[in-house]
Amino acid sequence: MSRVGRPQKVCLCPFLPVHPLEVSTCLYIVQHPAEESRALRTVPLLAACLPPGKCKVLVGRRFNEERNPELAAVCRDSRTLILYPGPDAQNLEELVQKQDWDQDRMGEQFVRAVGPNVIIIDGTWSQAKDMFLRNTLLHQPKQVQLSRSEQTSLYVIRSQPSNICLSTLECAAVTLSILERNEAIQEVLLKPLQALCSFQLQHGALVHHSKEHLIRHGIYDKQMPTNKRKIKRMENLITNQHICPR
């Protein structure tokens, strides 16, 4: 078996970095239990690319101070960010640029001996939304989001609500490349994901277009909603300007 638990003939080890990436940022993946049992997950690929202490996975629906003291302490830490889009979220790239500018202005040398913590919720969009709303611990860190770019998800073997939804691994790759000021990190982390999708497509998997893509091109084969709230949700799929982790 490979480092990510796949059979030898579809092993992804050649696409993983020989040595774990050296990063100062610590990722905390808060994972919905339903994701833990999925065969084609991206979190194991992410964890295989990073040092063990830099990618910690916590599985559950509900988290609190008593049962999850480590997560509670991380949420209280002023260096912790949570990647979750919304009206209260700050653009991550702008936040980092402002920090760099402030440090240059003060004439200080920027030393990242201890990096930030980043919390990413791993689950479908509806699962992630439910977990964020119901866990007050997750409301404590500074909320950040990724700006929409020309990049669309490479995770084409799994359906997504919108073209701007990225897999957990892709969100982590973009986030780390911004925080570590190193665009090469994104390229390294995406290699095993591209290989995974390629293997699956070669063995009969189909490309899954997003719901947004199907609606835009008039090929959505399900009945359109009549409920105003659901219609508004459909419109938001097309007009949302921030990348959604899923």
3-state secondary structure labels for all residues of 47-79: HHHCCHHHEEEEECCCCCCCCCHHHHHHHHCCC
Looking at residue 52, its pLDDT comes to 86
Nearest to 194 by CA among 1, 184, 186: 186
pLDDT digits (tens, 9 = 90+) for 97-116: 888 766 655 444 444 446 89
Between 95 and 207, residue with greater pLDDT: 95
Looking at residue 225, its pLDDT comes to 54
Token pair recorded at residue 130: 């439910």
pLDDT digits (tens, 9 = 90+) for 138-176: 999 999 999 865 567 777 666 666 556 788 999 999 999
pLDDT digits (tens, 9 = 90+) for 36-57: 877 678 999 999 999 989 999 9
DSSP state of 150: S
Looking at residue 179, its pLDDT comes to 96
Between 32 and 153, residue with greater pLDDT: 32
Looking at residue 244, its pLDDT comes to 58
Looking at residue 237, its pLDDT comes to 47
Q: Is the pLDDT of residue 240 over 70?
A: no
Q: Is the pLDDT of residue 90 over 80?
A: yes
Looking at residue 13, its pLDDT comes to 84
pLDDT digits (tens, 9 = 90+) for 172-218: 999 999 999 999 999 999 999 888 888 777 767 656 555 554 555 56
pLDDT digits (tens, 9 = 90+) for 119-131: 999 998 889 999 9
Using CA atoms in the order 78, 83, 86, 88, what is the torsion angle rounded to 10 degrees? 10
Nearest to 220 by CA among 211, 232, 231: 211
